[in-house]
């Protein structure tokens, strides 16, 4: 497989807006099978501005059931739910600040209380400045890797799933999550350490996850979001000399591919993490010898989902933008693919200012009421 692989079809953004902390839909509707209807969803103009085209939406009752399963169902495992790692109150991701706010008995920390789960997580890396969890992306018989928790916005339009793009359907995504994060012991025996979701539960979970989308139903022109010279300069650079749209193109700001951008070879990833005692191995080298390609994420909501990259190695949005001027990036496959990127400090500031407009919460055309509590820019 090539290091940069585009997904088939054109990525389109859905328009269902679901308040995850409230009831959704009509409880009298049938829950036996997903119902597909056509509603508008954004495509893209020549400037990357979303406009309206049809996309399928699942039945409200199935979405409501999936919401309950997502936040309440533990599948007879260790007490975790999907919402344990994807809390609505933190834009469906985990940040260091959010983890620090949790009580010691939160299910997220079950590996720190149950001896049989001592290897489920690395407490030092989870409680540290990167908020990392463990994933056995190479198989449960192989060493795990450290990963940040991705948000679940726009999953309906961004298959395959996972940072390594190794899961082709949301059924696989949910099943793997139960096996990875919910077991009572690291033997991970189905029917003993957890129960697998039923086909109907998988359909409901998928319907709910597919409903968590950005932006809102209103189409918007990116130029209308710009209000300062720095934001205007950032918009120009994003679609021009910054070369951001080599990978972050389309209405969801992703080309749907996987690519090596040199994140695994950032200096912080080539030395043992200082949080670990005894020392952990360098995080980057665990990722296929620091050469793994990663799923290109959507940038919608990026301003509210720090830290950044698959390993949360960029603490701020500016840190993430600055990576693309680094030796690690320009020496990567992606650096060669783009012909290299050179940006001044002012350019980095300007692109960061533009990306700050693509918010999950706060005022503007992409504002939502979902998961804004405690999120910068939220109510």
Could you read off the pLDDT tens digit of each residue along the chain, which spans 379 residues?
334 443 222 222 222 222 222 223 333 333 333 322 232 333 333 334 443 333 445 688 999 999 999 999 999 999 999 999 999 989 899 999 999 999 999 999 999 999 999 999 999 999 999 999 999 999 999 999 999 999 998 898 888 899 998 899 999 999 999 999 999 999 999 999 999 999 999 999 999 999 988 764 345 678 888 999 999 999 999 999 999 999 999 888 999 899 999 999 999 999 999 998 888 899 999 999 999 999 999 998 898 889 999 999 999 999 999 999 999 999 999 999 999 999 999 999 999 999 998 876 544 333 333 444 444 433 3
Mean pLDDT score of the chain: 82
Asked if residue 31 belongs to a domain, the reply is no
- Token pair belonging to 301: 């909501």
Asked if residue 90 belongs to a domain, the reply is yes
Residue numbers of the domain that contains 304: 37-355
Among 95, 204, 93, CA closest to 153: 93
Asked if residue 336 belongs to a domain, the reply is yes
Asked if residue 46 belongs to a domain, the reply is yes
Asked if residue 11 belongs to a domain, the reply is no
Asked if residue 30 belongs to a domain, the reply is no
Asked if residue 60 belongs to a domain, the reply is yes
How many domains would you assign to the chain? Answer: 1
| pLDDT of 35 | 29
DSSP state of 149: P
Q: Which residues of 56-78 are buried (b: 16+ CB within 10 A; e: fewer)?
A: ebbbbbbbbbbbebbbebbbebb
pTM beyond 0.85, yes or no: no
Alpha-carbon distance values, 149 to 94, 152, 308, 309, 348 (Å): 6, 9, 10, 10, 25
Asked if residue 318 belongs to a domain, the reply is yes
């Amino acid at each position: 497989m090539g290091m940069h692989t585009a997904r088939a079809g054109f990525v389109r953004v859905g328009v269902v807006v679901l308040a995850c902390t409230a009831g959704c839909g009509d409880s009298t509707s049938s829950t036996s099978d997903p119902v597909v209807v056509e509603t508008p969803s954004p495509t893209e103009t020549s400037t990357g501005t979303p406009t309206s085209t049809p996309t399928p939406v699942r039945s409200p009752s199935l979405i409501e059931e999936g919401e309950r399963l997502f936040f309440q169902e533990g599948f007879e495992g260790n007490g975790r739910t999907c919402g344990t790692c994807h809390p609505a109150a933190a834009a469906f991701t985990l940040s260091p600040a959010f983890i620090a706010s949790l009580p010691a008995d939160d299910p997220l920390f079950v590996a720190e209380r149950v001896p049989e789960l001592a290897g489920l997580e690395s407490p030092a890396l989870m409680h540290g400045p990167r908020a990392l969890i463990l994933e056995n992306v190479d198989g449960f018989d192989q060493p795990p890797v450290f990963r940040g928790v991705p948000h679940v916005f726009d999953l309906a339009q961004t298959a395959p799933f996972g940072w390594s793009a190794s899961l082709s359907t949301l059924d696989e995504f949910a099943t793997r999550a139960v096996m990875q994060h919910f077991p009572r012991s690291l033997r991970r025996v189905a029917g003993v350490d957890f129960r697998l979701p039923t086909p109907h539960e998988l359909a409901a979970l998928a319907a709910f996850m597919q409903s968590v989308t950005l932006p809102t139903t209103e189409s918007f022109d990116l130029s209308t979001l710009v209000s300062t010279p720095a934001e205007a300069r950032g918009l120009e650079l994003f679609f021009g000399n910054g070369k951001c749209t080599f990978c972050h193109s389309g209405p969801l700001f992703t080309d749907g591919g996987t690519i090596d951008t040199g994140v695994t070879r950032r200096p912080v990833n080539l030395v043992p993490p200082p949080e670990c005692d005894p020392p952990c191995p360098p995080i980057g080298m665990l990722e296929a010898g620091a050469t793994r390609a990663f799923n290109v994420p959507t940038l919608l909501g990026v301003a509210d989902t720090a830290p950044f990259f698959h390993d949360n190695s960029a603490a701020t949005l500016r840190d993430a933008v600055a990576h693309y001027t680094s030796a690690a990036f320009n020496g990567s496959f992606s650096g060669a693919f783009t012909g290299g990127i050179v940006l001044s400090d002012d350019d980095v500031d300007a692109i960061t200012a533009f990306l700050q407009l693509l918010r999950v919460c706060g005022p503007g055309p992409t504002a939502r009421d979902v998961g804004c509590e405690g999120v910068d820019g939220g109510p």
